[in-house]
Amino acid sequence: MKSKFKRKELLGYSEYLLARDFTSRVGQPIIFLILALSLGLAIAVIVPRLRNYSKAVAQALTFTLGAGWLILVWFHYKIATTLVLTDPTGQLSPGSFKIPVWIENEKFFFWTLILGVLTIVGTRRPAEYQSALNMTLAGFGVLTFFTSNPFAQPLPQFHADFLNYLRVVAGGQSAMVKMQTFHGLHGKMVGYYNSVYMWVHPPLLFIAYSTFVLAFLACVFMLVKKTQNYDILAHTYTKLGFILLTVGLLIGYPWAVDAWKGEPWWYDPKVNITLMMWVLYTAYLHARLYIHRKGMWVTTAVLGQLAFVGVVITYLTTYVIPGIHSVVG
């Protein structure tokens, strides 16, 4: 049984490694194309005589992001069909990993993709607003290349965790160490990788964040242009994002209760900063009810901008402040 377990695991792992290598080799040219198109989009926005090409470049960038995402989807499918988690006795198999395509270094890539879709599907937007949105998308593309390339090392944390599990259970360690390693990865499988909440909670938040980008730009133009169409744009996108954010947070609550039993997860920095962001958007929506009163136009626009600062801080918290959501120690 032990040798059978080893052969089965190693065969699946070999297939997984081939898929991971293929994803990296095919994805790397795509990420460089994303960088080139992002820079091209920025140039098209800045240079007046090239501005007419910005729509086509934004579409090309979004389609390229979509192509890259489909490659990641394929890679995740290969993980689900090749890697099987089995206990060290070889008698019990909890199943395969069904990992959503928005974890680890894929998160910002997914956010950029959603922003790209929202950038190219909108109609009847003021020209200066669309140009600002195109420039923002270009910035997201550049940041994706330099900070969140999902193809350089696909799913590095998952890869390290599974490799460690394979080394331990196939090696000469004691039965206790093997079972501890198995249960550690199995806990991640059930509570994180395969959790139904993981398939709903994060994408709702990232779609909300993308709509908040559009709302933020409209709030900036509210102060610059002082025209009602920007107030309507800001309010429309904020309402949509607020609904998605609220639903996402409500879905995240039972996940937190189930996954972090016995841990004071409500003290997690990201949880608290996210709630403050939600309060700021609530304040914006309430202020907007009185926008025709003296001074409320500026107040509403400023609240919308401050709330988006909360979005940025919420995202960065994962990488700079220790906590349950954090990737730092």
pTM for the structure as a whole: 0.91
State the residue for tokens 């949509």. 240
- What confidence score (pLDDT) does residue 191 get? 84
Instruction: Read off the pLDDT of residues 58-86 as tens digits, 9 standing for 90 and up.
Output: 999 999 999 999 999 999 999 999 998 88
Q: What's the CA gap between 235 and 239, in Å, rounded?
A: 6
In single-letter form, the type of residue at position 221 comes to F
Instruction: Read off the pLDDT of residues 287-302 as tens digits, 9 standing for 90 and up.
Output: 999 999 999 999 999 9
Report which of residues 94 and 38 the model is more confident about: 38
Sign of torsion over alpha carbons 135, 141, 142, 147 = positive
Instruction: Read off the pLDDT of residues 137-160 as tens digits, 9 standing for 90 and up.
Output: 999 999 999 999 999 999 999 999
* Banded pLDDT at 9 (limits 50, 70, 90): low
User: Does residue 7 have a pLDDT over 60?
Assistant: no
Instruction: Read off the pLDDT of residues 227-263 as tens digits, 9 standing for 90 and up.
Output: 999 999 999 999 999 999 999 999 988 877 776 676 6
Instruction: State percent of the chain over pLDDT 90.
Output: 68
Q: Which of 4-13, 187-196, 226-235, 246-255 is the most confident on average?
A: 226-235
Instruction: State percent of the chain over pLDDT 70.
Output: 90
Beta-carbon contacts of 13 under 8 Å, excluding residues fewer than 6 positions away, are: 82, 83, 162, 166
Mean pLDDT value across the chain: 90
How many C-beta neighbours within 10 Å does residue 34 have?
Answer: 26
- What confidence score (pLDDT) does residue 2 get? 47
- What confidence score (pLDDT) does residue 175 get? 82
* Banded pLDDT at 130 (limits 50, 70, 90): very high
* Banded pLDDT at 44 (limits 50, 70, 90): very high
- What confidence score (pLDDT) does residue 266 get? 66
